[in-house]
Structures are given as structure tokens and as C-alpha cells.
A and B are shown apart, each in its own frame.
Chain A
Amino acid sequence: MWWTRLKALIVKELLAVLRDPKGRTVLIGPPIIQLLVFSYAATLEVTNVDLMVLNRDDGHWSREVVQQIGGSPTFRSIELASSPHEVRLAIDTQRVLAVLEIGPTFSRDIEAGRPAQVQIILDGRRSNASQIVSGYLGRIVGAVAAETPAGKRAASETIRVEARNWFNPNLTYQWFMVPNLVASIALLIGLIVTALSVARERELGTFDQLIVSPLRTHEILLGKLIPPMMIGLFHITIYILAAVFIFGVPLRGSLFLLYGSAIFYLAAVVGLGLFISALSMTQQQAILGAFLFMVPAMLLSGFATPIENMPSWLQPVTLINPLRYFLVIVKGVFLKDIPLAEVVHQTLPLCLIAIVTLSSAAWLFRRRLE
């Protein structure tokens, strides 16, 4: 009997989303856009840099530096300046990101074995890119320095750094980003589908219909919980397939663990969605509420910036964010064959969040009926 009721509710929920043109758009549009934007456009790498060089030295070593820079794929164009005035203008108008200035005595100093200097002028308005470019330039100049007679003599005394990137040897940007997206798409879809479903019924007046029906409160909640979870699992699957077959991200861990923890993650997310929709009276409020949660949740998850970099008072806030835990699991399963114990360690908080959000949603629903 209860299964007949629940099944009817689940089928209805799925049909309501799939038969509504707006619902279908929500299911298809954002996932594609997110995949394309994050994996191709929103890259954190700095490439295509325009550089200006003010070279007042006409010796061998300054030419060597400029040539090395010219050979680097990071830089798109190198413009030669003839006066400091040009430098100022180029930075001011953002025509170039950085300027390398080489003094008139540069080559002579090197040949004479004296300390030689170059100056890098960076555009601080674009602080992140500037920092990265500064690093690139420093490395190139360092390489040239090692070739100088003084450099060669000192080579035996310096420490050579040899970098090896484990798990992602070429630091391929997509390897890092696409697994993140598996977690964030489930958050997006789970929240929106759930938040809309109750609010829509409330707007249309069908929610009263459900309450006077023989469905019990927990059956209504289950009926509202399961369909968005199914949709969420579907999107997770699509993204995993895309990660492996389109972006070539290695899948080193157990899919079983990934899906197992995904169920708890989705329950937590859908619980939040139900909570939001129990609070809102209209679909508009529900959507606003979902985004009000989603934006900080993305920023406070370790998605783009490590949680360890956040101020210590902010870090505890991330503990209630389900995305934080699931990100660890997804990245772990994809890139490093995360062990079971670690998955359990991350899933327990998800479990807890799900219990809290679902029971407060249930409580709120009951209270709303008073």
C-alpha cells in the first residue's frame, strides 16, 4: 500500500520535471554550460601574455634573455620599447601585462663577473596573472644566469630543484577541474530541482492536495527526495563519462565508493533544497534561496581556493558545506585511488548533514501546516 502511494508520487515528480519545458531546460542547459565554461574558459593558467622589453644594453646576454622569453609559449608577443615613457603608456593602457627592463651595463657586468640586475614592472591591477608572470620571468632569467661564466662556476654550490607532480604529472588543468565539476553539478541540479518542486506545488495549490491525501509526511518527503537524487545521479554519471572519455582524466579509484558516497552527498543536498523550499512561498523565492546558498557554498568548498588559505575564523563555516567533503572524495577517486577509510571519513559528515537538513525540512513542513 505505502509503496503504491510512494511510487505514484515518484513517477509524478519525474514526469512533472521532464514534461515541463522549463524543467527540461534546467536539466540540460546549466550542465552543458557549466562543463564548457569551467573546463575550457575559466582556466586559472596564464597564457597569451603580452610583454614589453626595454632593452638598454646591446650586449650578448640581454639578447639571450629576450630570446629565451620569445621561445616560451606563455608569451604571445614581445614589443620592444625605446623609452621609459612608452613603458608607462603601455602599462597604463593595459596593452601589456609586464615590462622587462634591462639596464645599459647588464652584459658588461656579467662578463666582468659583477652582480647584474634586471627590473620587472608588473600591472598590479591584475594581481594574480602578474604574480604568475613574475614567476615565469624569474625562472627564465635564472636559467640564463646559470649559463653565465659566474653561474657555471657557482653551479656546483647551488641546490638544484627538480619538480615532479604526482597524480597529475603535467598539471593538466582539466584533470583538476572536471572532477570538481562532478560535485558541483550535483549541487546545482539537486538544489534547484528540489527547491522548485515544493514551491511549484505550493503556488499551484496542489500541495494541499497531497496533504489531504493518505500520504504521510515522511512519504511526501521521500517522494520529494528520491526523484531529485535520481536526477542528480544521472548528471554525476554523465559528467564521469565526460571526464573519462572526453577529457581523458584517469579514473584510478573505485566507482563503487564514488557512487556510494554520492548517495549521501545527494541526500544532504536535496535535504538543503527541501529546507529552502519549505521556507519559500513562491518558485522565485526558492530559486533565490538556492543561489543564496550555492554561491558561498562553491567559494567555501575548496573548489577554486584551498580551505587552508581561508582565515581561521572562516574555516569552521566550511564544515557544514556538503560540497567540501564530496570534493575530496571525487578528486580522490579520480586521481589517486582514495582508500575506503578516507571515503568513510568524508561520508560521515555528509550523513550527518543529510539527517539534520532532512529532519529540519520535515519539521518545517509540519510547522507550516499549523
Chain B
Amino acid sequence: MSAPATEPGTAPFVRLTAVTKRFGSAPPALDAVAGEIFGGRVTGLVGPDGAGKTTLMRLMTGLMLPDTGTIEVLGYDTGRDPASIQAAIGYMPQRFGLYEDLSVQENLDLYADLRGLPKTERSRTFGELLEFTDLARFTTRLAGKLSGGMKQKLGLACALLRKPRLLLLDEPGVGVDPISRRDLWKMVGNLRAEGIGVVWSTAYLEEAEACDHVFLLDKGRLMFSGPPAEMTGRVEHRVFRLSGIRGRRREALARLLEEEGVVDGVIQGEAIRLVMKPGLSPPLGDTADAADAAVTPPRFEDAFVDMLGGGPGGRSRLAETQREFAEGAGRPVIEARGLTKRFGDFTAADNITFDIPRGEIFGLLGPNGAGKSTTFKMLCGLLKPTAGEGRVAGFDLRRNAPEARNRLGYMAQKFSLYGDLSVIQNFNFFAGVYGLSGARKRERIGLMSEIFDFRTILDMSAKDLPLGLKQRLALACAVLHEPEVLFLDEPTSGVDPITRREFWTHINGLVEKGVTVLVTTHFMDEAEYCDRISLIYRGRSIALGSPDDMKARVASKDLPDPTMEDAFIALIQGSELKEAA
């Protein structure tokens, strides 16, 4: 995005003064947040789930009042005059706020009635908005039947019915494929040009870079406020890309993370991305792991991790205590052969085929609703394929005995733990279900509580744990019985980057011990951890290969070094062209 369009001297649209909000006895959801939001700018509220983004947004709408501090929106105080604020702003809550059983047109009509849009203006406004959102072809379709991206566009259209001066968008990027996401950004860019103030909240750190101004929130505290370039500036010249790794790159990363001076490191396809302490260069001595280290432009996430004091290090005690699975002879651990699933006349997954050898991380990448969850569920035995078959360690999990299922660990989206049970009760349950008893059970649970640091909170209810700890507990429960195959469904969605790195450190370590991993994700950077990925779009696998392959496939003169997201979009557009032809 181009430079912020703030004229000096203009009054801010929103003025936050020491805003604090608590819910019950928990730590404050917002802790003395102060700042100003201007018109003609896109202001990002950035932070992991539970950082306080939604709370702050609802406070700005006047739907809730702060415990202490004041909020002034467009000159009105939220406590004294919420009605005037609500008449002048547009608010798009998370989960759309659409009526799923009404059609696109009926939703627009309803919101036009609610917002009191005069009848005479309707046809013109509807026409403009439908063109703006490219939904004109779908006016009769039920809102519930739209894709995630189209729902968000319709939500945006409803929020724009009476052109607001300030537009609040709560996580508009969730559940939206990268192409629709780019469309949404384009739309928001146009609104900004008209002088509208846009607030865009997101848990995707890469979206922060597209904003004019960023409020970075973490656990209710405002960590940073300013243009994103100022944030990334703190790690400028400290981010390196190590390529030509000798030996296994996961081992290399684990070693590098333990080195003095390394702040953060992640796998990027065949390469490793390192953030160093100021003034230090990557450790490339005789024991060098990499042939080449080049300075690379920093990303918002690099800066955030640096601000939080660096990543968690590269050692995984979990992997160190894990027994080794020998390289199997020949046969792949996971096999998908022409997996197809139809629901009525809708094909959710169409002829999906791949093999995963032992000790590989395989990723199913794609937007929500593309079919990656369906494929995933067919492989782990939760759904019966309409055609084709899936095998894990040689077994069809729908037919074979529990002994086969004993070999796999499963971690579901949203970390499906038993919230009313305490940490230790969750451990006991998962241990029992996987047939652990007696001394072995005590030993494994003891080990897990030690590695994941649960010993002091064993009696806390799982639902009261912060998100990061829930994610850790879910992983601990999934690997309690030392499975040889791990199924991970969106394992890190919404968690903070430190927890995410910790998670991947463990997974990388386990993979080095011969554990095979199938992971679904819609995080492009998470796809970089995979050895190979299958790109699923509209039920079909449109590309299969290593992350570097995918990027190389779309590299061009204009785009010599594409990101994973660029590759994703180019591949999807390519597949659509092929389909049209």
C-alpha cells in the first residue's frame, strides 16, 4: 500500500485514552491502551487470538464500555453518545453477521431497512455495491451457500450501505482464500482513497505489512503503534536467508537456534530464515551448515518475534525422548489413491492421490472449503470415501482394528480438548483411550507434564488455559502414546508466533525420529515447513511438490522471488484458466 494519506492537522477519527477492560477476574483483556486512528488510512489491529482485538473494536462501536479510560469516536464519547457513533460508522463483526437463510439481495434489503436507507437511493447503492464486490451474479443465492470470500464481501457491502466515515472490520481475512483476500484489500484501498477510516483486525502478521498504521496487541497490551515499516525496521539487515544447506535442514535449524546470537529461525522450503542479534552475522564457520547466507528483507513477524525476545530455541525434549522409527522398507506410510468424496451433487474432493514416505511432513494447503479437510478426514477414517481408498501404515482406518488407530496421533482444529476436565484428567483420558496403564501411563504423563511445563497447573480446567497452553496440551495429548503418524488439522491457527515456533520445533524433532506428519494449513508460511505440499482447490489437487518447486514454477521476470502466497495465487489462476479453456 502507498504512503498514508493523513493531512497534518486533521482531527483523529478515534482517540483512545488509557483504555482498560476486564472480564471477570481474568487478566485484563485490554490494558491501558492509548492511541489515535485517522481517516483515509487503513489501521491494522494486529495480534494473536485473545490479544484483545475484538474487545477493542466492540469498545469503539459503543457496544461495550471500558472499565477505565475513554474512547472518542468521530468526536462523540462512546459512553455518552453511542447512538451517534453507531449512525456514522460501519461495523462488520467476525462471522459475517449475515442471515444465512436469506439470499444476497434479501440481506442487502434487510440491512438497508435497518440502516434506514431511503428507498429512492436503494437501486443506485445496491448497483454500486454489487459491482464493487462483484456479487451481482449471485443476488439470488442464499448467503449460507456463498464461499468464505464471498460472504466477507457481502458483509462488507452490508456495512457500506450508508457510506460510513469509519469502517470497522473484525478479522475479515479469516476463512478467505488468498485471491478473495487480495480483492478485499483492493476494495479497502478504494475506500481509503475516499477518505474513509478503515480499521482492519487480523491475526495474520503478514497482513500487518499492508496497513498504513499498525496497533500490535499482545495479551491486552499495546506492543507497538506506528507504520509497519517502523516495526520491520528494527530487524533491518538482521534477517538472513541460508541456502544450500548441507545435510538435513531440520537438524541444521535445531542446531542454529541453539547458537549464541540467533534470535529466531524458521524453515523456508529448502532454505532457513534466521534473525540475528544486532551486528552479528549467521554462524558460518567450519561446522557451517549452509553454503550461502544472504541478507533478506525483514517481515513483520520477524520483528514481532524479536520484540517478544526471540524464539524458543531449537531443542525438543519431546523428540529427544521419542523412540525412533526405522526407515521402512519401500512402502509409504500414508497413501491416498484416487480419494473422492461427493455430498449429493457436490464434489468435495475429486480423485486425490499422493504418497507420504516415512519421516516426511506433507501439507494439504488450500482455502477453507476447498476440500483439504475432507481429504484429511477420509485419510484418518472420519469420512468414508465415495471412491478410492486411503491407507495409513498399510491399514484402511475405517475397516481395521483399533491396533491400527493406536499408531496415529490426531490433533484437531481448535484443539478439541475436554474443557471441563483438568489438565491431568485430560492426560488420564487420552492415556486410557490409547491403552496406556500402570507404570507406563504414569511415566508418559509425567514426562509430558515436565516437557510442556504443566506440573504446576495440572488441576486447572483445560478451558481456562490461555490459547497457547491449550495448543500445547493438545499436542501433548496427541503424542502421549508415541504415535508413528501424526494428523494435524490447522494445528496453530490463531496462536502467537512463539507458541507456533515451539510447536514446529517439536514437530521437526519428531520427524527426524521417523514420525510421519500430515498437516492441513491455510498459513502460507507454515506450508514452508513441509517437505511436500498438495495444493487443494475446489476439491482437486492442482499442484503437488515441494514448496520450492511451487515457487519456482511461478517465478517469472516480473516476480523473480515469489512468496508462497504468490505461488498459490498464480497456481490457482492457472488452474482456472485451464478449466475455462
Contacts and interface: CB of A to CB of B under 8 A. Distances in A.
Interface of A: 1, 4-5, 7-9, 11-12, 15-16, 19-20, 23, 204-206, 208-216, 369-370
Given A210-B433, A212-B381, 17 more contacts: A5-B434, A7-B432, A8-B429, A8-B430, A8-B431, A8-B433, A11-B429, A11-B432, A15-B418, A15-B420, A15-B421, A19-B461, A204-B416, A205-B412, A206-B416, A212-B410, A369-B384
Contacts of B420: 15-16, 19-20, 23
Contacts of A370: 383-384
Given A11-B429, A19-B421, A19-B461, A214 B435 contact: yes
In the A-B complex, the 7 residue pairs with the smallest Cβ-Cβ separation, listed nearest first, are: A8-B432, A214-B402, A205-B416, A19-B420, A206-B416, A12-B429, A20-B420
A19 B461 CA distance: 9
10 contacts: A5-B435, A11-B425, A19-B421, A19-B422, A19-B461, A205-B414, A210-B433, A211-B382, A212-B380, A212-B408
B402 A206 contact: no
Nearest to A366: B384
Nearest to A22: B420
Contact of B432 (A5, A205, A210): A5
A208 B379 CA distance: 13
A369 B377 CA distance: 10
Contacts of A212: 380-382, 397, 405, 408, 410, 487
B499 interface: no
Nearest to B410: A212
A213 B412 contact: no
B437 A4 contact: yes
B433 A213 contact: yes
A16 B420 CA distance: 6
Contacts of B436: 4
Best-buried of B382, B397, B432, B436 by chain A (most CB within 10 Å): B432
Of listed A9, A11, A15, A23, residue having the most chain B CB within 10 A: A15
Interface string B455-479: 0000001000000000000000000
B476 to A, nearest CB: 14
Contacts of A215: 402, 433
A173 to B, nearest CB: 40
B443 interface: no
Contacts of B434: 5, 213-214
A209 B487 contact: no
A162 B429 CA distance: 65
Contacts of A205: 412-414, 416
B380 A204 contact: no
Interface string B411-451: 01110111111100100111111111100000000000000
A16 B417 CA distance: 11
Contacts of A216: 402
B425 A15 contact: yes
Given A214-B403, A216-B402, A204 B435 contact: no
B406 interface: yes
A16 B421 contact: yes
B417 A206 contact: yes
Contacts, number: 91
A214 B429 contact: no
A11 B408 CA distance: 23
Contacts of B408: 212
Interface in B378-412: 380-384, 397, 402-403, 405-406, 408, 410, 412
Given A214-B402, A214-B405, A216-B402, A9 B418 contact: no
Contact of A209 (B412, B425, B432, B461): B412
A230 B433 CA distance: 20
A209 B383 contact: no
B297 to A, nearest CB: 39
Contacts of B437: 4
A208 B406 contact: no
Given A20-B420, A370-B384, A9 B432 contact: yes
Nearest to B407: A214
A11 B429 CA distance: 8
A9 B433 CA distance: 7
A210 B419 CA distance: 15
A20 B425 CA distance: 14
A8 B428 contact: yes
Contact of A12 (B403, B421, B461): B421
Contacts of B406: 214
Contacts of A8: 428-433
Contacts of A214: 402-403, 405-406, 433-435
Contacts of A7: 432
Nearest to A19: B420
A12 B408 CA distance: 21
Given A4-B435, A16-B418, A19-B420, A211 B428 contact: no
Contacts of B432: 4-5, 7-9, 11
The interface centre, meaning the residue of A1, A208, A369 with most chain B CB atoms within 10 A of its CB, is A208
B315 to A, nearest CB: 29
A152 to B, nearest CB: 76
Contacts of B435: 1, 4-5, 214
Nearest to A213: B433
Interface string B287-314: 0000000000000000000000000000
Contacts of A213: 402, 405, 410, 433-434
Given A211-B381, A214-B405, A5 B433 contact: yes
Contacts of A4: 432, 435-437
